[in-house]
């Protein structure tokens, strides 16, 4: 019986009188892909923000790799191996694609307090960066300015940056958002290749992606986990379908 990579217990968050995270408890086991689904406004991104450290919870604990990280800032969690991609693409547009990823390598390798030498030319940083770019299929765009990439390529870059961190846990916040069918299929393919090797939490709206990738699914409605279970079970659960569709009808 292995220890969960991520264990969330009793997480609570409200903005004034609006409760966005209502007593959420989740376990993510090593190597598994847990999908978190729910209608718009269910609190999925808020949950991810609390896990990654951008938002402090009002109550509850977050255990990552056995250690309590609830009070740690995002960068501390990142260095422990917690990587995330953002729903709204968050890259460095004026840097080259390669440098975007090389920076993630630089953070992991440490010793950024180097005041001399040309960082952009360091093979030690560029090689692992290129490897991550190759994994996500945009290695041919390595020297392009990141701001000039297409939307789909930028999403791939987000993923490459996360992969370069060699994370123990990867949080994916709606990676399929706003990209076409072809790109979506490519992303699914990529994530399938990573499955088993990497522990992941996937927040997504695209149901075909969710059912193609998830080992388990958690359904979040109005900040509360309605049910966590196997995809087939969740799919068949009438209660969830009504709750989900009911929410959407509102």
Q: Give 217's DSSP letter.
A: E
What does the angle CA 14 – CA 18 – CA 23 come to, to the nearest 5 degrees? 50
For the packed helices 151-164 and 97-109, what is the interaxial angle rounded to 10 degrees? 20
Minimum distance from CB of 180 to other proteins (Å)? 24
Among 69, 78, 163, 191, contact with other proteins (rule: CB under 8 A): 78
131: tokens are: 């490897």
Q: Is the distance from CB of 109 to CB of 125 less than 8 angstroms?
A: yes
Among 119, 168, 177, 226, contact with other proteins (rule: CB under 8 A): 119
Tell me whether residue 99 or residue 204 sits nearer to other proteins (CB atom). Answer: 99
Minimum distance from CB of 150 to other proteins (Å)? 15
Minimum distance from CB of 231 to other proteins (Å)? 29
Contacting range for other proteins; rule: CB under 8 A; set: 23-31, 116-124, 173-181, 204-212: 116-124
184: phi then psi, degrees, rounded to nearest 5: -60, -45
246 binds other proteins (CB under 8 A): no
Buried b (16+ CB within 10 A) or exposed e, 212-236: ebbbbbbbbbbbbbbebeebeebee
Tell me whether residue 104 or residue 220 sits nearer to other proteins (CB atom). Answer: 104
Q: Is the distance from CB of 107 to CB of 142 less than 8 angstroms?
A: no
Among 10, 59, 140, 147, contact with other proteins (rule: CB under 8 A): 147
C-alpha 202, offset from chain centre: 6
Please give the torsion angle defined by the CA atoms of residues 99, 183, 50 and 219, in that order, rounded to the nearest 10 degrees: -170
Minimum distance from CB of 155 to other proteins (Å)? 14
Which of 152, 197, 146 lies closest to 170, judged by CA? 197
Among 1, 113, 123, 249, contact with other proteins (rule: CB under 8 A): 113
Within 81-110, the residues that bind other proteins by CB under 8 A are 83-84, 86, 90-96, 99, 103-104, 106-108
* Per-position x/- string for 36-75, each x denoting binding to other proteins as judged by CB under 8 A, each - no binding: ----------------x-x------------------xxx
Neighbours of 137 (CB within 10 A): 16
Within 122-141, the residues that bind other proteins by CB under 8 A are 122
The residues binding other proteins (CB under 8 A) are 52, 54, 73-75, 78-79, 83-84, 86, 90-96, 99, 103-104, 106-108, 111-122, 143, 145, 147, 161, 165
């Amino acid at each position: 019986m292995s220890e969960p990579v991520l264990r969330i217990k009793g997480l609570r968050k409200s903005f004034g009188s609006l409760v966005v995270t209502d007593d959420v408890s989740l376990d993510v086991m090593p190597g598994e892909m847990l999908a978190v689904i729910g209608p718009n406004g269910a609190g999925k991104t808020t949950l991810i923000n609390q896990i990654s450290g951008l938002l402090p919870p009002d109550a509850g604990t977050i255990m990552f790799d056995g250690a309590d990280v609830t009070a740690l800032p995002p960068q501390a969690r990142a260095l422990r191996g917690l990587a995330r991609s953002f729903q709204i693409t968050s890259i460095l547009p004026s840097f080259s694609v390669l440098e975007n990823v090389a920076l993630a390598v630089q953070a992991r390798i440490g010793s950024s307090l180097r005041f001399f030498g040309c960082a952009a030319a360091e093979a030690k940083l560029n090689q692992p960066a290129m490897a991550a770019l190759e994994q996500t299929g945009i290695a041919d765009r390595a020297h392009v300015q990141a701001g000039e990439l297409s939307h789909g390529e930028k999403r791939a870059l987000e993923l490459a940056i996360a992969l370069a961190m060699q994370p123990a846990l990867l949080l994916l916040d709606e990676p399929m958002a706003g990209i076409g069918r072809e790109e979506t299929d490519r992303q699914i393919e990529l994530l399938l290749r990573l499955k088993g090797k990497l522990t992941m939490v996937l927040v997504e709206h695209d149901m075909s992606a969710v059912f193609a990738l998830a080992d388990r699914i958690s359904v979040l409605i109005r900040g509360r986990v309605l049910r966590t279970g196997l995809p087939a079970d969740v799919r068949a659960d009438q209660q969830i379908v009504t709750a989900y569709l009911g929410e959407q009808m509102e």
